[in-house]
C-alpha cells in the first residue's frame, strides 16, 4: 500500500502495530482500526454490539 501520510502519523501507526500481539496487524488493518475508533469517538459510527464487551 502506498501512503502519503505524514511521518508522525506513520510513526504512531507503527507504534500501534508493534504493541499488538502476534499476528501483528498490517498497516491497512491499523489504519482501519484508527478510522473506526475516530468515527466512534465523533459519534458518527455506533459501536457494533459484539464489541461492547471489549469496551467495558
What are the per-10-residue average pLDDT scores of the chain (56 residues)?
A: 84 97 96 94 88 55
Residue 1 domain-assigned (yes or no): no
CA atoms within 13 A on the CB side of 56: 5
Where helices occur in 1-56 by DSSP H, the ranges are 7-18, 27-41, 52-55
Residue 35 domain-assigned (yes or no): yes
Residue 11 domain-assigned (yes or no): yes
Q: How many domains does the chain have?
A: 1
Residue 13 domain-assigned (yes or no): yes
Q: What is the largest CA-CA distance in the chain?
A: 35
Separation between Cα atoms, residue 40 and residue 23, nearest integer Å:
25
Domain extent at residue 39: 7-55
pLDDT of residue 53: 57
pLDDT of residue 48: 77
Residue 40 domain-assigned (yes or no): yes
Q: Would you say 27 and 1 are in contact if contact means Cβ atoms under 8 Å apart?
A: yes
Amino acid at each position: 500500500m502506498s501512503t502519503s501520510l505524514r511521518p508522525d502519523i506513520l510513526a504512531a501507526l507503527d507504534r500501534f502495530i508493534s504493541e499488538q500481539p502476534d499476528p501483528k496487524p498490517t498497516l491497512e488493518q491499523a489504519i482501519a482500526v484508527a478510522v473506526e475508533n475516530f468515527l466512534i469517538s465523533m459519534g458518527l459510527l455506533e459501536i457494533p454490539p459484539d464489541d461492547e464487551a471489549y469496551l467495558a
